[in-house]
């Protein structure tokens, strides 16, 4: 039985990924800050299938303790799913809250690279795989995206750079860069359920389960196949967003 290490597993894509992988025969280390949600996953899926690791990915000491404390049956990680991430605020750069910027960089950039580096020796030894959840925001920017878009551009390209660095190791690396997925993302970003409902209304957006299905597909491909990047979007969304500000 193979083991996946899934960050941000207490909601959205991460939670759906744990359920999907366990249903397909994987063990999962499920990480997140909300112990009650991790406990619920263990209760639902079984302690033999899910190991809860509660820590904030921005806390390196807590991360180290969680990795060191993995039970033997969960310690040999075959798949890292770099999913943890967030957006805060939609203000233009000149009005943005610097604390929001720090939080996004610490979560979406620093924590991801630190965790990846710590798990790389095991992943190389086991000829495993890394799947990172980036975003179309890293390619197609939008007003108010500023640091979130920049952090996702970093995530997208760091993952592709890993693919180059890990050449010859047998480790497969994939960047999945979704468009609109209805999760708690907008609620966390805006603090408003109404804003979240308004954004997704009538769009028929992708779901967390849709992305989890893609993660499972990539993870279970034959070991000689690598998907470099995937850019899924709902049919009702596209990338044509050029604007013109007219004078006069």
The dihedral built from the CA positions of residue 77, 179, 104 and 20, taken in this order, carries a sign that is: negative
Question: Tokens in use for 167?
Answer: 């050449």
Q: What is the Cα Rg of the chain in Å? A: 18
- CA angle 167/7/235 to nearest 5° reads 85
Among residues 140, 142, 148, 200, the one annotated as catalytic is 148
Tokens for 215?
């993660």
Burial of 247 (0-12, 13-18, 19+ CB in 10 A): exposed
Q: Would you give the end-to-end CA distance of the chain in angstroms? A: 66
Q: 74-98 burial, b if ≥16 CB within 10 A, otherwise e?
A: beebbbbbbbbbbbbbbeeeeebee
- Mark whether 148 is an active-site residue: yes
Catalytic residue annotation: 148
């Amino acid at each position: 039985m193979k083991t996946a290490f899934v960050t941000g597993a207490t909601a959205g894509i991460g939670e759906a990924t744990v359920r999907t992988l366990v249903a397909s025969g994987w063990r999962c280390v499920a990480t997140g800050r909300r112990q009650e949600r991790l406990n619920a996953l263990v209760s639902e899926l079984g302690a033999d299938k899910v190991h809860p690791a509660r820590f904030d990915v921005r806390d390196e000491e807590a991360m180290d303790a969680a990795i060191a404390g993995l039970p033997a049956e969960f310690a040999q990680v075959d798949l890292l799913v770099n999913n943890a991430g967030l957006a805060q605020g939609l203000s233009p750069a000149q009005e943005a809250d610097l604390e929001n910027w720090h939080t996004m960089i610490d979560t979406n950039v620093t924590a991801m690279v630190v965790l990846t580096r710590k798990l790389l020796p095991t992943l190389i030894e086991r000829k495993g795989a890394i799947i990172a959840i980036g975003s179309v925001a890293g390619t197609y920017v939008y007003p108010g995206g500023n640091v979130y878009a920049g952090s996702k551009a970093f995530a997208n390209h760091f993952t592709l750079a890993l693919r180059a660095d890990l050449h010859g190791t047998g480790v497969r690396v994939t960047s999945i860069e979704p468009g609109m997925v209805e999760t708690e993302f907008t609620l966390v970003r805006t603090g408003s359920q109404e804003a979240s409902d308004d954004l997704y209304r009538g769009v028929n957006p992708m779901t967390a389960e849709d992305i989890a299905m893609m993660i499972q597909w990539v993870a279970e491909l034959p070991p000689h196949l690598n998907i470099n990047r995937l850019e899924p979007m709902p049919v009702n969304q596209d990338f044509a967003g050029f604007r013109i500000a007219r004078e006069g």
